[in-house]
Every structure is written in structure tokens, then in C-alpha cells.
């Protein structure tokens, strides 16, 4: 996928990148250029099934690709955090939510830089005060960028981090009311929902 976001201060061009603009309250969130291919009717059906703890008919529609990312094949996503990353509280909360929702079937685990290997995902901070994109996941390069320049909305910032972690685990954009909703699919959730957990676990780690 390729897209360009322009504003008066900057032009951002990225290739093979999944982005979320969920770092502001939903009423003020910009429209996401990456649109879900899941129909509203299907979203209603699979969200209800996930909320009831039941499997969805075709979990592949929730995945970003045809297979789990190579660095996540064993169900454990190892990540390291840049020294200048300023949102440790929100990152730790996002990781804790994912790990609780995944219920031991998959997990996220921080490693120290000295323990990192070629399959370790890097979580980086690259603020863009005038940019539209609040976070970006680059699974092909094992990098996740948080671009939000401040923590004005801490819960939404946590949601941005959690959303991009979902992309790094192979989830695509899904449905309104889910964490993995695209920003054009209001209302969005700032927290991991049952449908988000299904996107990671069902058909891959169950």
C-alpha cells in the first residue's frame, strides 16, 4: 500500500505502512485513507459473535495478510523501546490490555536492547507536530512509530499505540467500535475488544 498525506507544513509518503489516526477524540479524528473492506452487515454479525465468545466464520477478513508475520510465528512478539520514547505509561497499559485479551494464546514481551535479535520489533518516537498520521506500523521493517507530539489525550494515545501493535501482530483494519477500526469508522475504541483478540488468535493461535 502507498499513500501520501499533505498539509501546509509537510508531505508524508510511506510504502507498505499501516497507519492509524486515533490519537484524538473520535469527533476530531481525521479520516483514514486505509478503508475497511468489511461490510457493515458483516461487521455487525462478527462483532456480536466475538462479544459472545464465539468464532467468526472467516477470520481471514480481519488479518492484514495471508500469514502471520515471520517475527510472530511463535505467537510471541518481542519488542524493544527507544530510549527517547516518552509514553511509557501508555505503552505498558496497551501491552497489558493486549496480553489480557489474548489470554496466553499469543503475547507481547519487552526485551532489552542487549537481548534483541533480528526478529525484535522496534518501538520508536518520531514526533510530527503538524502531521495527520499519529502512528505508523511497518511490519516489513519490524518498526512501529508513534508520531504524536504530546499526551494531551492519554487514553487516545494509549489507543493509538495499541492499534499499531495490533498491526504488528498481523491485524488489519476491521469494524467500527473496535480498536482496529480505521479512523473513518467512527466510533472507534481506544481499548482492545473481543473482535480485536479474534483478529490475532482465531485461525492462527487457537
User: pLDDT tens digits for 138-168?
Assistant: 999 999 999 999 888 999 999 999 999 999 9
Give 135's contacts (C-beta < 8 A, 6+ positions apart): 19, 20, 22, 23, 144, 145, 146, 147, 148, 160, 161, 163, 164
The interaxial angle of helices 88-102 and 194-201, nearest 10 deg, is: 70
Half-sphere exposure of 193 (CA within 13 A, CB side): 22
Contacts of 199 (CB under 8 A, 6+ apart): 59, 62, 63, 166, 170, 171, 172, 174, 180
Closest CA to 157 of 186, 135, 137, 126: 135
State percent of the chain over pLDDT 90: 70
Domains and CATH numbers, the chain: 40-201 (3.40.390.10)
pLDDT digits (tens, 9 = 90+) for 86-132: 999 999 999 999 999 999 999 999 999 999 999 999 999 999 888 77
Amino acid at each position: 500500500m502507498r499513500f501520501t498525506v499533505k498539509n501546509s507544513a509537510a508531505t508524508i509518503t510511506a510504502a507498505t505502512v499501516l497507519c492509524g489516526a486515533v490519537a484524538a477524540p473520535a469527533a476530531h479524528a481525521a479520516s483514514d485513507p486505509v478503508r475497511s473492506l468489511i461490510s457493515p452487515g458483516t461487521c455487525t454479525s462478527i462483532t456480536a459473535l466475538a462479544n459472545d465468545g464465539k468464532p467468526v466464520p472467516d477470520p481471514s477478513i480481519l488479518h492484514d495478510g495471508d500469514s502471520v508475520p515471520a517475527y510472530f510465528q511463535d505467537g510471541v512478539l518481542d519488542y524493544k523501546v527507544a530510549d527517547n520514547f516518552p509514553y511509557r505509561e501508555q505503552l505498558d497499559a496497551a501491552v497489558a490490555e493486549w496480553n489480557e485479551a489474548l489470554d496466553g494464546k499469543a503475547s507481547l514481551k519487552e526485551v532489552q536492547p542487549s537481548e534483541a535479535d533480528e526478529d525484535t520489533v522496534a518501538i520508536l518516537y518520531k514526533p510530527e507536530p503538524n502531521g495527520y498520521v499519529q502512528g505508523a506500523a511497518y511490519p516489513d521493517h519490524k518498526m512501529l512509530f508513534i508520531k504524536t507530539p504530546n499526551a494531551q489525550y492519554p487514553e487516545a494515545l494509549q489507543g493509538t499505540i495499541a492499534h499499531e501493535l495490533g498491526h504488528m501482530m498481523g491485524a488489519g483494519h476491521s469494524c467500527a467500535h473496535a480498536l482496529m477500526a480505521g479512523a473513518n469508522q467512527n466510533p472507534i475504541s481506544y481499548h482492545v475488544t473481543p473482535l480485536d483478540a479474534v483478529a490475532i488468535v482465531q485461525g492462527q493461535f487457537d
